[in-house]
A and B are shown apart, each in its own frame.
Chain A
Amino acid sequence: DGGITQSPKYLFRKEGQNVTLSCEQNLNHDAMYWYRQDPGQGLRLIYYSQIVNDFQKGDIAEGYSVSREKKESFPLTVTSAQKNPTAFYLCASSHIGGPVFTDTQYFGPGTRLTVL
């Protein structure tokens, strides 16, 4: 069953702690993305990766870190430096390149992080 999985669905952390959100895909996609969504708002790009061992900052990377050691996995760490970490976090993946643009981003179910 192909798709993107994110875990956990709900996550609580104390202020000052780092926390890592998991994202795994078995779609054989090259690119993976992390977005943040606040209530009533659109999605904002945190980080993205087009290839293993390489990633780029998005619009709101401060206070976050990522790694891409495997094609299937793109974990996001929310560090204590992130001022307002409570949000809904979405991971996505897509194919890249080719003669025809087919950049459909497939999204995971999301992780809702609450900082207590």
Chain B
Amino acid sequence: LAKTTQPISMDSYEGQEVNITCSHNNIATNDYITWYQQFPSQGPRFIIQGYKTKVTNEVASLFIPADRKSSTLSLPRVSLSDTAVYYCLVGDNNNAGNMLTFGGGTRLMVKP
């Protein structure tokens, strides 16, 4: 299974754009990249998923370079409510077992 590496923590201020980069050097051809958000004492929540290039939805963008060995989650104009832990995962739904691995995540602190 592809292992991911992300910064342990990041600080930002309200209104700024936040970019969280994840390294996944061993990503396999069939793997997708998925990001989750988790607030304290709650289950993680899906944010965005992509395979290559750029994906954008109503809450975030995901940038994936051609070699797919890393990805960057971009949160535009963060607010205090974006303070959470963000997890980067890679995995293949068609792989028997579907064992996605959650690492320690990145703790984002948004300050006023």
How many A-B contacts are there with CB distance less than 8 Å?
Answer: 69
The interface-forming segment of A14-22, A63-71, A76-84, A103-111 is A103-111
Q: How far is the CA of A92 from the CA of B30 in the complex (A)?
A: 22
Contact with A along B41-57 (1 / 0, CB 8 A): 11111100101000000
- A88: nearest residue on chain B (CB-CB)? B41
Q: Mark B8-45, 1 if CB is under 8 A from A, else 0.
A: 00000000000000000000001010101000011111
Tell whether B87 is near chain A: CB-to-CB under 8 Å: yes
Of the stretches B60-68, B71-79, B98-106, the one at the interface is: B98-106
Distance, CA A95 to CA B93, complexed state (A): 9
Which A residues lie within 8 Å of B93 (CB)? 94-98, 101-103
Q: Does B97 contact A (CB under 8 A)?
A: yes
- Taking beta carbons and an 8 Å cutoff, which residues of A are in contact with B? 4, 31, 35, 41-45, 48, 50, 56, 58-59, 88, 90, 92, 94-98, 101-110, 112
